Structure 1
Amino acid sequence: MEKKTHMISEEHLYAIALRECKLIGDITFYKLVRIFGSAKETWENVKKEYKKTNGIGLKIISDIGNIDHLKFAEKEIKFCQENNIKIRLRHYNELPSLLSECDDAPSILYQKGNFKKEVKTLSIVGTRNMTSYGEKFIHDFFIETKSDQYTSVSGLALGVDKEVHEQSINHHIPTVAVLAHGFNFLYPSKNRKLSEKILSENGALVTEFASSRKPDRENFIQRNRIVAGISPSTIVIETGFGGGSISTATFANNYNRDVFALPGKITDKYSQGCNHLIFQNKATAISSIKNLTESLGLGKYKHQMEELFPQNKSILELTENQELIYKLIKKNPQVFLNDLIEKTDLSSHKILPLILELELLGKVKTLSGRQFIAI
């Protein structure tokens, strides 16, 4: 469909009303507007022309046409106009392009502030209980990439998210906060000043939730798919088992995006989630900030300088088994785990920890499908 100029129009009214209908989720919404041509046409014709709906059941469309939803949409538009909030429609190609590619992309994205669609985005997430280890990594990463053109994305939570937004602002990198509620709220309230700073420093706040939606628990998981879908890469700094960042990494994997995780000691609670993502081949281990920025296509100028003035690197001593696995991977690029098992007579539960150790040393990289290459 053609992109319209960004005026709040009749189509915005019907889109909000349609999305408010019970049982109409983002995937069904998108199917219907593609069949009927617009949200307005869907609203007015779906029941008369039910045979067109390609298997979308009567129960699902039963709430379309409910006048209460139009009244809700009128109030929402008034709120957006009064608070300088843009209403982005997926079917008008107004979402960030990578996000729009996701099957379950939000039908509507409410946006406050500036978000340049053409600038590369990088999602960075982690625990609310950030340690000094995670904090130092974030500081070092932003120092390394301060000359690069990109926009950071996180979730405005306490801990890692807050640090990501603050360091972005400190280094004049635009930052986008994805909220798990409507613009009538700000959660956590401690981050109100930070949210204002994000807007004043050329960043944005975005949400798929209408203004009256509170920060309910389930909204946070739903929000995480936007954080994952909006960027080609997601970095997980620190997280425990079952932390919210695990869901963001899972969404990123499902969208075929790159995931990087900061490994840590197996005894550290907030490294266990990252270590597990690496162990399951759901994330690439971050072995150094230099290797990470190279993988992301950032920090290029600095790295060229390092090549002109190389630093002395201490030679790493590998154990006998590490050496064995490393040589096999070097000799057989993109070798599969099963092939390593055959060539070494070692079991997978002995080989995988060795590979993890080699990844941490920056000697080996894991590819999808349990394939490995030497770096």
Structure 2
Amino acid sequence: MISEEYLYAIALRECSLVGDINFHKLVRTFGSAEEAWKRAKKEYSKADGVGRKTVADIGNEDYLKFAEKEIKFCEKNQIMVRLRHLNELPYLLNECDDAPAILYQKGSFEDALPKISLVGTRNMTSYGKQFISDFFEVTKGYKCVSVSGLALGVDKEIHEQSIQHKIPTIAVLAHGFHTLYPSKNKKLSEKILEDNGALVTEFNSSRKPDRENFIQRNRIIAGLSPSTIVVETGFGGGSVSTASFANDYNREVFALPGKITDPYSQGCNQLIFQNKASSISTIKDLMDSLGFNASKEKAAELFPYSELNIQLTDSQETVYQSIKAHPQVSLDDLAQMISMASYKILPIILELELLGKVKSFSGRQFRAI
């Protein structure tokens, strides 16, 4: 039987101007969702930054009736209700300032296991599919949990490869548990639950998969893991927003580079170019960065190459040799060393990253590989 605190939490969160941040302010001020429900309308001034409009519909009996129905729905469908203010969220997600006040969950996962979020376009290419296959082939020897969004394309491949390699996977939904979107992934969602994975969402059963929910959903994908990998995405794709959330949360972001003419590599290349993601040059390098320390035998290079068969242009050679001689060199220092404007150097560095010769780090610093 779900306690009354959950009832009041659902009712409070349903109020029109009580978002996740205001919810947190109210329960922090009044000690519980139940006390906030009963007192906030009259005593709202006690809560920092909460005005009269915010609390205007707190206490509405319709929201309590809705909450009662929601709890019955959750009990009938084996859905857990997890409250942030009771420290029931996954610990990394709980660190985020805008973490959901309520998380609905089917299935379970071991929160102590390291998690890796992987996202990408619905229009996955054979290049992206091969990377995912290579990544999970290496990862299968390690205890971890994958996280993605159950969309078609890259997300679907992530969940399927996880199941195939016996890695628990979490699917973050952009709607309530009354439906499953896209419906094509219904059997996949059932398989996730059968294979020690979970489906999670911040949305109650009244919420449909509206367009704005997907961006909101992406922050949970980023918040659950210390690292996010963007496999393929176009300019302005939804995965770019996931990377932005991960950056805001001070988490690591990696992106798979590709040809500048490939539309679903352009978003990844842009993230790398803007130093919002580290370029993936080899599976081994990625695994080391993730802390998995994969063995040389298991982690083949994603972009195999020989020093002899890469012919660099004069400008590429100049930049490469300068970076090689000065590990972790900054862009400004590099520009001064070779007497070249930084805006001219950046495109060359991106070319070197695509060739697997250079790796970029935050703060516009670079190292030769």
Aligned 8 A contact 2:231 2:256 in 1 = yes
For the residues of structure 2 that align with 1:86 and 1:20, how far apart are their CA atoms?
18
Name 1:290's counterpart in structure 2: 284
Name 2:296's counterpart in structure 1: 303
Moved more, 52-61 or 121-130: 52-61
Of residues 181, 192, 195 in structure 2, which corresponds to 1:198? Answer: 192
Aligned 8 A contact 1:152 1:175 in 2 = yes
Aligned 8 A contact 1:147 1:299 in 2 = no
Aligned 8 A contact 2:138 2:299 in 1 = no
Give structure 1 stretches of 5+ with no counterpart: 1-6
For the residues of structure 2 that align with 1:358 and 1:126, how far apart are their CA atoms?
23
| Per-residue deviation, residues 303-340 of structure 1 (Å, max 9, x unmatched) | 37779xxxx97225443322322232233333221221
Aligned 8 A contact 2:116 2:225 in 1 = yes
Name 1:314's counterpart in structure 2: 306
Aligned 8 A contact 1:145 1:299 in 2 = no
Matched, 1:108 2:114: no
Name 2:246's counterpart in structure 1: 252
Of residues 204, 219, 240 in structure 2, which corresponds to 1:210? Answer: 204
Change (3 A) 1:166 1:73: same
Change (3 A) 1:74 1:306: closer
Of residues 34, 55, 65 in structure 2, which corresponds to 1:61? Answer: 55
Matched, 1:13 2:7: yes
Of residues 268, 275, 278 in structure 2, which corresponds to 1:281? Answer: 275
Matched, 1:227 2:221: yes
For the residues of structure 2 that align with 1:222 and 1:305, how far apart are their CA atoms?
37
Change (3 A) 1:43 1:332: same
Count of residues paired in the alignment: 364
For the residues of structure 2 that align with 1:328 and 1:90, how far apart are their CA atoms?
49
Matched, 1:371 2:361: no
Of residues 186, 190, 202 in structure 1, which corresponds to 2:180? Answer: 186
Question: Percentage identity across aligned positions?
Answer: 70
For the residues of structure 2 that align with 1:322 and 1:47, how far apart are their CA atoms?
64
Aligned 8 A contact 2:283 2:299 in 1 = no
For the residues of structure 2 that align with 1:30 and 1:21, how far apart are their CA atoms?
13
What's the offset of the Cα at 1:238? 0.7
Structure-to-structure mapping, 1:105-144, within 5 angstroms: 105-144=99-138
Aligned 8 A contact 1:148 1:299 in 2 = no
What's the offset of the Cα at 1:242? 1.2
RMSD: 1.7
Of residues 172, 176, 182 in structure 1, which corresponds to 2:170? Answer: 176
What's the offset of the Cα at 1:246? 0.8
For the residues of structure 2 that align with 1:305 and 1:12, how far apart are their CA atoms?
47
For the residues of structure 2 that align with 1:190 and 1:12, how far apart are their CA atoms?
32
Give structure 2 stretches of 5+ with no counterpart: none
Aligned 8 A contact 1:329 1:374 in 2 = yes
For the residues of structure 1 that align with 2:167 and 2:243, how far apart are their CA atoms?
23
Q: Which amino acid aligns with 1:74?
A: E
What's the offset of the Cα at 1:30? 0.6
Name 2:16's counterpart in structure 1: 22
What's the offset of the Cα at 1:264? 0.9
| Per-residue deviation, residues 71-121 of structure 1 (Å, max 9, x unmatched) | 010000000000000000011111111111111000000000012111111
Name 2:64's counterpart in structure 1: 70
Of residues 55, 75, 86 in structure 1, which corresponds to 2:80? Answer: 86
For the residues of structure 2 that align with 1:296 and 1:66, how far apart are their CA atoms?
48
